[in-house]
Amino acid sequence: MVWNHTIGQEKTKNHLTYLLESNQVPHAQLFNSACGRGGLVLAIEFAWELVRLAQEQKEGKSLGALCQSPNLHFIYPVVKKGTEKVVYASDYSAEWYAFLNENPYGDYTDWFDHIAVGNKQGIIAVSEIEKLHQQLYLKAFGGGNKVCILWGVEKMNASAANAFLKLLEEPPENTYFILLCEQTENVLPTVLSRCQEIALPPIEEKALDRTLPEDLEGKLQLLKQASGDYRKLRTLISDKEEKHYELLLVQGLRSAFKAKGNKSVVVDLMHWANELAQLGREKQKAFLRFGIQFFRDAFLKNYHLNELVHYQSETGFDLDKLAPYIHSNNIQELTALFEQQHYYIQRNANAKMMFTELSLQLTRLINSPSPK
């Protein structure tokens, strides 16, 4: 089996190749990992083998073009474009194939930015699964197998998840399901139980290194910071996304420091909370994840564990100066605060109220006394 698009993941490739060659492919598999580790690309290349797309058919064609096989079905989160009552993944097929060509290691944030959803949060609705049910019970084009790749299992609402469970319990003949998710805790347990789970490890550093120019400055540091995530590696190189999140977080921390006992600064905190509330929901979640890692690295600085610190400022901010304020008395609450807000965003909480509460709690926590 030839893997033309997947970066690294040699152990997983060998495992999937063995399943194919031994005719032991389960009807439902779940790839569990961050999008930047390549689960989507891996699933697509594996699906090509299941629908028997010959090697000569693949040569010279883009990833998006090759995914337009009639026996290959994609489900992914979408939003309504206008006033229509129902929207399907197929309504976004052109955008999806373009996304696969441009950013196959992208995550949900990248996808929602690609289709310009604004503050809307993409989901997989029950109507999508009902349509899929009809499609999969049709005979495969030219005979053979059908494969459904469902990207974003955790984006299914409860009705969709239960409808999809029925498909897994009574799968159509010669049909395979490949599910992809980033967090299994948000997936219906009965759906998980019907799948063979494969947890994708970080991409091997050597494989990531081969994607970089030989003369790129600071390669070793970039590879360390990327932690086996190709998307993060590309983000670090572009210096855009994390720089923006860093500027936002440092701005909020400075206001929070000053706000204790100074009511006039609370206005600045409210402006900061409003700025966060105006971000798209996926970017809000990405900001909160950045904050959790930021506090973790600041806490590790107190113990001189620099080899475990991934943070490298893009704005000239000195993490050593913040480190004494992130200590054993507040690190757990700070982490829990950001994790809780992340959870609330997934549940469509009011962003303005949520970030206002976060800013006030941040003021309390960042000013809490360190242990003696």
| pLDDT value of residue 58 | 61
Q: Which two tokens stand for residue 174?
A: 């010669």
DSSP secondary structure string for all residues of 207-265:
HHHTTS-TT-TTHHHHHHHHTT-HHHHHHHHHT-HHHHHHHHHHHHHHHHHHHTT-HHH
Q: Quick check: 186 and 154 in contact, CB under 8 A? A: yes
For 255-294, letters b (16+ CB in 10 Å) and e give bbbbbeeeeebbebbbebbeebbebbbbbbbbbbebbbbb
Q: For residue 143, what is the DSSP state?
A: S
Gap between the Cα atoms of 16 and 11, Å rounded: 9
| pLDDT value of residue 270 | 94
Gap between the Cα atoms of 50 and 176, Å rounded: 8
Query: pLDDT of 174-197, one tens digit each?
Result: 999 999 999 888 889 999 999 999
Q: Quick check: 268 and 254 in contact, CB under 8 A? A: no
> Comparing C-alpha atoms, which of 160, 217, 218, 152 is closest to residue 179?
152
| pLDDT value of residue 219 | 86
23: left (phi over 0), alpha (psi -120 to 50) or beta: left
> Comparing C-alpha atoms, which of 168, 170, 192, 172 is closest to residue 181?
192
| pLDDT value of residue 315 | 81
> Comparing C-alpha atoms, which of 341, 321, 340, 332 is closest to residue 296?
332
150: left (phi over 0), alpha (psi -120 to 50) or beta: beta
Longest dimension (CA), the chain: 73
| pLDDT value of residue 69 | 86
| pLDDT value of residue 209 | 94
> Comparing C-alpha atoms, which of 243, 326, 258, 329 is closest to residue 292?
326
Q: Quick check: 338 and 288 in contact, CB under 8 A? A: yes
| Residue at token pair 């389960």 | 26
| pLDDT value of residue 143 | 77
Q: Which residues of the chain have pLDDT under 50?
A: none
| pLDDT value of residue 277 | 93
Three-class DSSP category at 311: coil
Percent composition of the chain: helix, strand, coil (DSSP 3-state, to 5)? 55, 10, 35
Q: For residue 155, what is the DSSP state?
A: G
Q: Quick check: 307 and 328 in contact, CB under 8 A? A: no
> Comparing C-alpha atoms, which of 269, 256, 248, 252 is closest to residue 363?
256
